Amino acid sequence: MSTPDKHIDDLIKKLRAKNLTVLSAPGGQLPLAKKEQRELMCLMSDHTLLVRSGQTQNFEVLSYLDLVRRKTGKQVNVKTVTGTQLLNRLYAELSDAPAPKVKVLDTAGALSVNQMEVIRLITDAVNRKASDIHIKVNGSYGMIAYRIHGDMYKFQEPPGEKCREYCQTIYQSMCEIAEPTYKEHTHQDGRIKEAVVAKCGLFGARVASGPTDSGSHMVIRLLYDSGSSIPTLDQLGYLGEQIEMINTMRKHTSGINILSGATGSGKSTSLVSVMSMIIQDASNSGFASNNNGAEGFLGIEVLTIEDPPEYKIRGATQTPLVADRSSEESIRRGWANSIKASMRQDPDIMMIGEIRDPGSARAAFDAAMTGHGVWSTVHVTDAVGIMMRLRGLQVESDRMLDPEIVTGLINQSLVQKLCPVCSIPWAHNRHLVEEDLRNRVERYCELEGVRLRGPGCPHCKGEGIMGRMVIAEVILPNIGFMDAFSEHGKTKAKDYWVKHMNGITKCMAMIRRVNEGYLDPREAESKISAMDKDLITMGLDYSRQGDFAAGRARVLPVEHANPDLTTKFVAPPPYEKEEEAA
C-alpha cells in the first residue's frame, strides 16, 4: 500500500516528465501573492488549475479563474486535490519563478547558517580526501554522497527541502561565476568563490547542477592545492619505461604532446606534474653567475589556457578561458581565439586545457609548428585513438602524420591502489574471485605477487586502499608508426607500435601492476579491461603459455623480469606494406 508521500512523489515525477511548471508562484507569469491563496490553488503551465477539495466556489478561486481566462484567452481545466501537501510541494519543486533570494550574511556580518553548514560539509569531504560531493533531491528525500578514490559513499540523508536550500545557498551566495539564481530544473555551472574554498583548504571547486526525472542533482568537484607536494610521474603510477618517454617529450622545444583519457582520469594532475618538471628543469639550468643583472633565473615562460585553472602551477602564467558560458559557439571560438592570442604573449611552452573542435585543433597545431612546445588533452580511450580523434577534428594529414609535429601520445586511466599493510595474498584467498577471472589471473599473472583487497586497517583508515594510481599507454611516434596509421588505420598502427616499438598497452601495464601487488585483479579488470583483451583484439598471447615472449616480458614485475626476455629500446624498422594475397 503506497503512502501519501509516495503518491505525491509519483505525481510530481509525471508532471516533471511532461515539462509542466507552476505559473502561479510569486514572480511567475500569473502569480498568487498571498500564502493563503497558494494554499487554495495552483495553476500549472498546461492551464490546469488545481484547487483544494471543497473550495471550487471560493471567491478567491473564482476571481483568479476569471483573471487567468482574461489574461490568456484560454480555457482553464479545474481539478480538485485533497489537503495542502501537494500544493505546497508543487510550489516548492515545479515553480518557474526565480528562486527566492538567499540570505548571505546575518545582521552581524557573519556567514549565514546554511553557508556555515555548507562549509562544514565541504571541509568534511576534504578531510576524507573526496574528489566530488553529490547533493541529490528526490521529492521529500535528500541525499549527500562523496566520491572517494573513485567509489561513491552515502554520508547524509537530510530532508529534500534542506538539500534544496544547500543548493540555493551554494549557487546564489557562494559562487562567483554563475547565473544570479539557482534553477533546479535547468542545467547550470558555476565556480565557488576563492574566499570560500580557502576556508575549506582547497585551490578551487566547480559546481554543476541539473534536473533528474524525480528532482535535482548538484555535483561539487573539489580541486586541491598541490602546493609544494606535486606528485612525480613515478608517484602517479607511470611505469619506468613510460617515464623515460615522457621525459623525452618534455625536452622537445616544439611539437604537440597530447594526453587523453575519460573525464576524471587524472589528466589535469599529470599535466601539472609535467609542467612543474619543465619549469623546474629550466630554472635549474641557469649557469650565468650574474644572471644578466636579474634577481633570479626563470629560464622559460610556461603559459596555460584552462577552463578554469584547476590546480596551481608554480612558475606558470595561468589564464582562464574567456567566453560566454551560456553559448557553446562562444566557448568554441574562445578556445581558438585564446590560443592565437597566447602565441603573441611570448610563451616557450603552452598548456591548452582541451582540444575540442577543429578551430582549437588548428590553432594548437599552428602553435606547435611555430616554435612552441604544446601540451593538451582530448577525450579518447587509448593512445593510438588520439590519431583517430585528430582526424575527426580535421587536422591536415601532413601535420597529423608528421612525427616532428605530433611528438607524444599518452592515454591514462585511474585504478585503486591496494593498502600494502592489509592486502591479502592470492594463494589462500583465490576462492573469493569468480571462476572466469580466477582462470585469467592464473593464466596471465605471477601468482606469488598477486594480492586482493583486505579488510582495512588503521594504515588505510579502514578502506583497504591507499588512493589511486595511473595505468597508461605512452607512444613516441615515428615515421613507421605514422605510415602504418596512414595506410591501414588504427589497428595496424597499434600492432606496429606493440611489435616494433616495444609498446606497452594499458592491458600489459595493468597486468604488471597486478603482478607487483599494487592492484586487486577484480578492480583492475573493472576499470581497465579483461586480461585477455589484447589476445581477443590483436591476437597477442603473452599469457604464461603464450607465444609472444616479448609481450610476456613487459607484464612481469620489473625485479622479477627474465633478463633473457627483457627487450631493450632499438630504432624500429620502417613500416612495410603487407603484400595483398593474390
Q: What angle do CA 368, 374, 376 make, to 5 degrees?
A: 125
Return the C-alpha torsion angle 266, 268, 270, 274, nearest 10: 180
pLDDT of residue 575: 55
Q: How confident is the model at residue 569 (pLDDT cuts 50, 70, 90)?
A: very low
Q: Which amino acid makes up residue 78?
A: V
Highest mean pLDDT among 54-58, 112-116, 552-556: 552-556
Place of cell 551566495: 173
pLDDT, tens digit, for every residue of 489-522? 999 999 999 999 999 999 999 999 999 999 999 9
Q: How confident is the model at residue 177 (pLDDT cuts 50, 70, 90)?
A: low
Torsion of CA 281, 285, 289, 291, to 10 degrees: -70
User: Which 8-state DSSP code applies to residue 297?
Assistant: -
The SS3 of residue 571 is coil
% of the chain exceeding 90 in pLDDT: 58
Task: Estimate to the nearest angstrom the gap between the alpha carbon of 354 and the chain centroid.
Answer: 13
Task: Give the containing element (helix H, strand E) for 204.
Answer: strand 204-211
Region at 9 (left for phi over 0; alpha for psi -120 to 50; beta for the rest) = alpha
478 against 180, higher pLDDT = 478
Enumerate the H helices of 445-548 as residue ranges: 479-488, 490-500, 506-515, 521-527, 533-538
Which pTM does this prediction carry?
0.74
The larger pLDDT score, comparing residue 239 to residue 101, is at: 239
**pLDDT band (50, 70, 90) for residue 194:** confident
The per-residue pLDDT for range 106-164, each reduced to its tens digit, is 434 456 888 999 999 999 999 998 999 999 999 889 999 999 998 999 999 999 999 99
